[in-house]
Structure 1
Amino acid sequence: MTEKPDKWSDLAARAGSAAAMLVVGVWGMWVGGHVFHVLVSLICGLMIWELVRMIAPASGSLAIQLGGISALALILAIYLPTGFALPLLLAPALVGFGQLDKNRTIYMSFGVMVLLAGFGMMSVRDDLDLTWLLWLVCVVVATDVVGYFAGRMIGGPKFWPKVSPKKTWSGTGFGWVAAAVVGWVFALQTGANLELIGISIAISMASQMGDIAESAIKRAMDVKDSSNLIPGHGGVLDRFDGMLGASVFLLIIGQIVGFPPGLA
């Protein structure tokens, strides 16, 4: 009997945190511009802070310094021509590589992904408008939510039990289906061609890769959550790992396929 209040208390914390993140996130996306740039830069800075604390717990103030440098580099990069922005996006990874005494490759690789993802999200909002940022978020959220419930209800073979023991192939596959539905709906509403369905599935896969990559780091570092910043949810990295993979992938393929397909 004593366990039930604790469970309900945790559920309330999770729901409250989720509602707060939803309100802030939707507000930032809707307003766009400087507000969205600052919001994304702060989130990415926090992710870098969490990453350093995970891979080098004894790093002390270095985690704060690298998080601050990363946020500053990102907010400056979005206001510069792309050619000048690129060195800024890579610099924090190299600075950390030179300062850390272990797990340098993990930091450098994941650090670059965080800043490129933030830059990609801001670019989508600035260059393609709110519609396509909503599409990106909907694909990632649908992949995560539908995959979670499908995996729990259907079960079956595990995806990668040593790293992420709760993920199943059924949940993974239904996440792709959910992303395809999102792509189909947005194609109908925007006039984009049906290639958007295939792109949505690929974005879904990329978001799952981001999730798996962060899970692998946590398992290697023997930690449950990236931090305890978000009550009931863990850390910022735990909530945005899928968005990292999706945003970086869109930043890359957007130059290849001409995004949005049929409208570019």
Structure 2
Amino acid sequence: MRQGGRWDDLGERLGVGAVVAAIGLACVWVGGVVFSLLTIVIAGVIVWELVRMLDRTAPAGVIAIGSAAALAVAEFLPPGYALPLLLAPVFAGFSQLAQRRATFAIFTLLILIAGFGLNVLRVDFGFLWMMWLALVVIVTDVFGYFAGRFIGGPKFWPRVSPKKTWAGTVAGWVGAAFVGGGFAWYTDATTQLVPVSIAISMASQMGDIAESAVKRRVGVKDSSSLLPGHGGLFDRFDGMLGAAVFLLLTEQLIGFPPGSAG
């Protein structure tokens, strides 16, 4: 019975995760308006989930629609014009919450920057490197899930994320290193892509931990119940949020893809 309890969510988790990943990668491959619409919808839903967690009295739907609308307009403007629009929903929503305003402001800003930035990355680097980013995040999650349950051991931060272990955390880095090595071999990027992939994996895990901290603070298990086995979109995309923001902040510093002529 105890063993079964550890794996009773596996089938549902893998099935829903596979569908979400397939839809996401298909939209990344198509690019253009299709990918923009995906990021707009996901960002809007995540903001809705965030507001509902932080303050049940706040108009979550209105704030989410306003955030999605601002992102939709921003994605079709030059970056300089887009930046104020990405900040506007943060100020508007800030005035509507009665509590936890700082948490709302920080996370909403990161969500909208990630949504906007993913489109920039798709245009600048193309499908191949967006697939690399997605695979690093997915492999980090999958390796961490299985290693955490097979190996167990010391918890990473039990007070915030009771199920996350050091074994799962390190396994995520190992999986990311394999993805980076594979892409370095397949492309003209150098082996620096391996440690870059590990860093992206770490940023993905920090996104997961940050969301877990918010949920622990407000006393909820999941951001919503939209995705069986996963919770909400915030629960599913928290790692991508951390990874995307980190890549946006560092890709100019490392000359991404490292060593690549393209």
- Same fold, judged at TM 0.5 (above): yes
Structure 1, 246-255 or 148-157: larger mean CA deviation: 148-157
Work out the CA distance in 1 between the residues paired with 2:94 and 2:19.
34
Choose from 148, 160, 163 the match for 1:163: 160
Work out the CA distance in 1 between the residues paired with 2:167 and 2:22.
31
Structure 1, 171-180 or 17-26: larger mean CA deviation: 17-26
Work out the CA distance in 2 between the residues paired with 1:150 and 1:242.
17
Work out the CA distance in 2 between the residues paired with 1:232 and 1:174.
21
Q: Which residue of 2 aligns with 1:23?
A: 22
Spell out the pairing of 1:5-154 with structure 2 (5 A cutoff).
13-59=12-58, 62-154=59-151
**Superposed CA offset, 1:97-129 (max 9, x none):** 122111000000011111111112111212110
How far is the alpha carbon of 1:21 from its aligned partner?
Answer: 1.6
Q: How many residues align?
A: 257
Contact 1:120/1:250 (8 A) holds in 2: no
Choose from 173, 179, 192 the match for 1:195: 192
Aligned-residue Cα RMSD (Å) equals 1.7
**Superposed CA offset, 1:2-26 (max 9, x none):** xx9xx97x66654543343233212
Work out the CA distance in 2 between the residues paired with 1:153 and 1:19.
21
Contact 2:139/2:175 (8 A) holds in 1: yes
Work out the CA distance in 1 between the residues paired with 2:110 and 2:243.
10
2:214 is the counterpart of 1:217: yes
**Superposed CA offset, 1:34-91 (max 9, x none):** 01101111000000000000000122xx111111111111122122111111111122
SS of residue in 2 equivalent to 1:260: coil
Contact 2:152/2:165 (8 A) holds in 1: yes
- Unaligned 5+ runs, structure 1: none
Structure 1, 93-102 or 28-37: larger mean CA deviation: 93-102
What amino acid maps onto 2:151 in structure 1? I
Contact 2:181/2:193 (8 A) holds in 1: yes
Contact 1:227/1:235 (8 A) holds in 2: yes
- Unaligned 5+ runs, structure 2: none
How far is the alpha carbon of 1:143 from its aligned partner?
Answer: 0.7
What amino acid maps onto 2:42 in structure 1? I
Work out the CA distance in 2 between the residues paired with 1:255 and 1:80.
21
Spell out the pairing of 1:167-246 with structure 2 (5 A cutoff).
167-246=164-243
How far is the alpha carbon of 1:156 from its aligned partner?
Answer: 1.4
Contact 2:25/2:131 (8 A) holds in 1: no
SS of residue in 1 equivalent to 2:57: helix
Work out the CA distance in 2 between the residues paired with 1:12 and 1:141.
16
Per the alignment, do residues 113 and 176 of structure 1 end up closer, same or farther by CA in structure 2, a change over 3 Å counting? same
Q: Identity rate of aligned residues, in percent? A: 56
**Superposed CA offset, 1:167-191 (max 9, x none):** 1111111111111111111011111
